[in-house]
A = this chain, B = another copy of it.
């Protein structure tokens, strides 16, 4: 499955760390890229450093406006999944979403434009209680990929973790400078 993430509605500074965590989830759970507007440009550098260290080709794309992006993606055959605590319960809807081939997952911050609900092919609630866009994105991606994202190899990084029962085991391809 091809997955891209669109982050909207965040406020600069106040939401920077949350947006960074959203980007890190998108990357580590196997999305190809995250698209964002109105965002601190440092987030792109942070993610680039993570790629350098831990591998993979995940990309951050700055956009001007979300609406033309969604329209274009729909024309290209992507289905739009909007995460919202008001949507359909993931437990009920996941089997349908799992069958899609190309997804754009829209991750809003506190306020999202009303139109998103109409543009979306799926409005999905990761439970109907408030938690976090970070956990929401993670659960959606885990469910629709059935955990296979955690077996994926991120190639080209400087370090690789070897899973360990009680310590840290890291293979370094380069010494630290």
Tell me the A residues contacting B by CB distance below 8 Å: 17-18, 21, 24-25, 27-29, 50, 54, 56, 85-92, 117-118, 120, 123, 125-132, 134-135, 137-139, 142-143, 147, 149-151, 154, 160-161, 163-170
Contacts and interface: CB of A to CB of B under 8 A. Distances in A.
B139 A21 contact: no
A32 to B, nearest CB: 15
Residue in A88, A134, A143 whose Cβ sees the most chain B Cβ within 10 Å:
A134
Contact of A17 (B17, B29, B85): B17
Nearest to A142: B139
Contacts of A161: 85-86, 125, 128
Contact of A163 (B87, B143, B170): B87
Contact of A166 (B118, B137, B143, B165): B118
